[in-house]
Amino acid sequence: MGDVAMLVPVVASLAEQYPETRITVLSRPYARPFFGDLASNVNFMEADLMGEYRGVKGLNALYRRLAAKNFTHIADMHGVLRSRYLRMRFNLGRYRVEHIDKHRRGRRQLTSQSNKQLKQQPTSFENYAEVLSRLGFPVRLQFTSIFPPEGGNINLLPKAVGPKKHDEQWIGIAPFAAHPGKIYPPRLMEQVIESLVSDYPSARIFFFGRGKEESKHFSEWCQRFPRCLDASDQMESLHQELILMSHLDVMVSMDSANQHLASICNTPVVSIWGATHPYAGFLGWRQSPDRCIGIDLPCRPCSVFGNKPCLRGDMACMNNINPQEIVKKVEETITIKNKEKL
């Protein structure tokens, strides 16, 4: 989901700078809220790869459906097995096709445990824009939010959220991720929540994330701390979650999809990095490196995606991050946001 969300600023820039070009984004159904109202010349086409378009037979059917739309240019922004197969079919059909360069060599050097080269790699936004440039559509990346400056329509949210009072701070916390190397320990995150509740007694804290583990901790924290809400449990759709994110003063997130969802809503993110590193190119759109929290260790980063076992065995990259460092960054971000409102 994060990779698809990172495509939004690039597609929005393309649509604005080439208003006569019709753009169709092909992705899984969940991504429709990202692109559905992005621009009048952007269409979204969903593909159920586990159902209607499952396997080679399904991909062949998907190719025929795509070919019938008479596209002139094809951009493979994913570079995985399924998209490579479709790319091959389009190449055989003599379409104009380009695909993403993920700069795997540079990322291997970044995560190597011998002769590690701690250098910034091209971001996903730059990689996506490079594909468009090779297709003949160079773009200047300029994007703010999928919503108007005032945020999404808050009246579309459940009653449990309610209106935002003038003197309230709304803080989002997305403390989980797909892989252990990207998860800040819940016992330490609980200390972060406790400090924020103490420092901001009028604040509301919204938890984002779905799954049994998430629900278990969110339920415990909501019972223990006042003015906390399991937002993902209350929301009926991803679109509603995005609306809520657009009204947050700050989001605390791991290196996960929620970082990117908040970013395309123009919400500042305090991001926490363990096994991974912003240098791999996955920092959220327009997010400041100053709001990234991580510990310098000889072994870090050890993984591009956080899916490798800890080499030390103690997850020091996460366990040694002081909760108060996160609290301080949140407070700094809220202070800056308040000054911007004046």
CA atoms of 92 and 152, how far apart (whole Å)? 43
Domains and CATH numbers, the chain: 2-135 (3.40.50), 162-341 (3.40.50.2000)
Dihedral sign from CA coordinates of 14, 18, 20, 21? negative
Tokens of 27: 């992705």
Residue with tokens 């209106």: 163
Of the pLDDT bands very low, low, confident and very high (cuts 50, 70, 90), residue 206 is very high
Q: pTM (2 decimals)?
A: 0.95
Query: What torsion do the CA atoms of 9, 138, 135, 18 make, to the nearest 10 degrees?
Result: 70
Q: Residue 179 CB: number of other CB atoms within 10 A?
A: 17
Tokens of 159: 């009653």
Percent of the chain scoring above 90 in pLDDT: 94
Residue with tokens 């003063």: 249
Q: Could you read off the pLDDT of 13-48 as tens digits, one per residue?
A: 999 999 999 999 999 999 999 998 999 999 999 999
Per-position DSSP letters for 39-90, written without gaps between them: -TTEEEEE--TTTTT-HHHHHHHHHHHHHTTT-SEEEE-S-SHHHHHHHHHH
Arithmetic mean of pLDDT over the chain: 96
Residue with tokens 């989901």: 1
Residue 339 has pLDDT above 90, yes or no: no
Q: Could you read off the pLDDT of 74-90 as tens digits, one per residue?
A: 999 999 999 999 999 99
Of the pLDDT bands very low, low, confident and very high (cuts 50, 70, 90), residue 159 is very high
Q: Could you read off the pLDDT of 178-199 as tens digits, one per residue?
A: 999 999 999 999 999 999 999 9
- Mean of pLDDT values over 252-266: 98
